[in-house]
């Protein structure tokens, strides 16, 4: 894992930190905000001691569970006249990790849990993307999404509020552990 001081060989006085600052300084850009929320969740689950593994069929793996992370917010880095509508992509996907042998044609939601991260601030003047008080997280079992929104591709904040209660970052690990333990107990009872 790089620490930031490593030089980029062939460019005088340039370190990997320079790249990170140039690439990620505007965290309100959707992709960068997505990466930040993924880091925040990984940090809560104590998964940041190793570099992120991309292209693993889900964003995170925790206690043998695949977790999808979806991020949205009301404010973007570009000029807006009003807060953005909050929508999350929940479309079932095709792919090599699908649950059927003919996976390139079978669509499903591969993760077992979804965590929806919301940057809650609506006032640009008060926006502080690094303030965890301006974030809320929703945890939803994939089975609930499959039951309630089998063919839907997007979910809005009103529908999400009917499925889950928003929680603070400090409660993420505890709530995910409760859900996983509950599922294990339910399986044992069946």
Helix (H) or strand (E) holding 143: helix 142-148
CB 93 within 8 A of CB 104: no
State pLDDT tens for residues 59-97. 999 999 999 999 999 998 888 888 889 999 998 876 655
State pLDDT tens for residues 12-62. 999 999 998 999 988 888 899 999 999 999 999 999 988 887 766 789 999
- Better-scored residue on pLDDT, 177 or 190: 177
Proportion of the chain above pLDDT 70, given as a percent: 89
Proportion of the chain above pLDDT 90, given as a percent: 63
Q: Please choose, from the candidates 123, 159, 153, the residue with its C-alpha nearest in 3D space to the C-alpha of residue 138.
A: 159
pLDDT tops 80 at residue 4: yes
Q: How confident is the prediction for the chain on average, in pLDDT?
A: 88
Residue ranges of domains in the chain: 25-189
How many beta carbons lie within 10 A of that of residue 143, not counting itself? Answer: 12
How many beta carbons lie within 10 A of that of residue 144, not counting itself? Answer: 13
């Amino acid at each position: 894992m790089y620490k930031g001081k490593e030089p980029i060989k062939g460019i005088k006085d340039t370190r990997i930190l320079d790249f990170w600052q140039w690439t990620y300084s505007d965290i309100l850009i959707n992709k960068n905000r997505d990466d930040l929320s993924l880091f925040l969740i990984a940090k809560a689950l104590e998964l940041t001691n190793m570099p992120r593994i991309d292209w693993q069929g889900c964003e995170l793996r925790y206690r043998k569970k695949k977790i999808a992370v979806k991020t949205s917010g009301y404010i973007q880095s570009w000029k807006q006249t009003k807060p953005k509508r909050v929508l999350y992509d929940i479309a079932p996907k095709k792919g090599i990790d699908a649950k059927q042998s003919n996976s390139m044609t079978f669509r499903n939601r591969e993760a077992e849990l979804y965590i929806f991260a919301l940057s809650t601030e609506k006032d640009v003047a008060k926006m502080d993307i690094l303030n965890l008080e301006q974030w809320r997280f929703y945890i939803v079992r994939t089975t609930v999404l499959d039951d309630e929104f089998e063919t839907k591709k997007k979910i809005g904040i009103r529908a999400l509020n009917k499925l889950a209660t928003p929680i603070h970052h400090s409660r993420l690990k505890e709530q995910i552990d409760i859900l996983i333990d509950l599922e294990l107990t339910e399986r044992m009872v069946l």
